[in-house]
Amino acid sequence: MIAGTLRGMFQPVFEISLPLHRALVELELLRNELERQPVDVGVLAGLRQTARLRTSHFSTQIEGNELTEREVTQAVAGQRFPGRERDVTEVRNYYAALTWVEELAASSQSLTTRVIRTLHGLAWRGRRVASRYRDGQNVIRDGRTGRIVYLPPEASDVATLMTELAAWTNEEIGRRHWPIPVVAALAHYQLVTIHPWYDGNGRTARLLTTLILHRGGYGLQGLYSLEEYYAERLHDYYSALQVGPSHNYYEGRSAAPVTGFLEYFCRGMVEALRRVQGQCRAAQERGTPDLDPHLRRLHPRQRRVLSLFRDHAAVSTLQIALVLGLTVRTTGPLCRRWVAEGFLELANPARKSRLYRLSPTAEAWLADLPPL
């Protein structure tokens, strides 16, 4: 049993309980398996797009959005729904924010309070502009009874708490003392506990969670949706967030045990990754087996990158990073190694606009890839 606390005013106690430990072990096994599966880039793009749309649907559904999954897909594609403009705007905003999260994850930009406030600005107002924190007290009430469910910290404390959250998250991602899913879950819990805005806190917390998981190696190329798990177990989601002896932040909530929320969160990740595992296996079974022995010898990551060149003569480090679900910082050395091995060549050596193309040998393998 291991216990830990977040620094600052908010210090929840948690332990790596047996159920949490089991979930973390299974998560690592699932992650390793999914990273090794050689899924064609065309199939990969389809799975990623489906996950983005489902995430946008379920995350806004949690907040009361009434568009169906099919309508969300149509709304993101540009279709109008007269009389339901607010619902359409919500899903489009969330989809745009989710896309930016993936861009951030592949960059070297630090996680700052400005980044978190911009996530809120995108999700809530559709603009990549940092939102201001609330300037007054807000109260969370039960929609049926009107009873106070939670009284967040005072507005004067919000900026300090958010600065501590960003600093703690960067520190934990860097030192890896706790498993990344635990860090993501605690950051999610902390943000909704601070409740820095009058509205849009849940959406922003879920986007922040996604960013942390991507940064910590659990992005899995954006193939899974935790929001679907939350929406299907909405009562459990809110129950897991409501802990402590009092609804008042200053009377126990700030130091409440959060092991239950960590267990809920990691169980959700396990279920989401199991679904992706099934989708990838099904896609693999539908595919055509490789006939060229060179392709069989390629690393799965190289096969994904090879497929990328079907539509591009040259690609950037960022494009390769997005396909592989890695950060740009990690992808750079990988590309340089592939150049040395004769898989890639430099098409443009400029540091800020570096591009890669396939070597003549690898170019010949492109024709032997299975069709999309």
Catalytic machinery residues: 195
First to last CA, the chain: 48
- Return d(Cα 273, Cα 253) in angstroms, integer: 31
Q: Give every CB contact of residue 254 below 8 A, 6+ residues apart in sequence.
A: 9, 10, 11, 12, 153, 193
Q: SS3 for 143? A: coil
Distance of CA 100 to the CA centre of its chain: 11
- Return d(Cα 263, Cα 210) in angstroms, integer: 17
- For residues 353 and 359, the answer to whether their CB atoms sit within 8 Å is no
The helix or strand, by DSSP H or E, that contains position 356, with its residue range, turns out to be strand 355-358
Cβ neighbourhood burial of 231 (10 Å; 0-12, 13-18, 19+): middle
Cβ neighbourhood burial of 74 (10 Å; 0-12, 13-18, 19+): middle
Joined tokens for residue 149: 């469910």
How many residues can be counted in the chain? 372
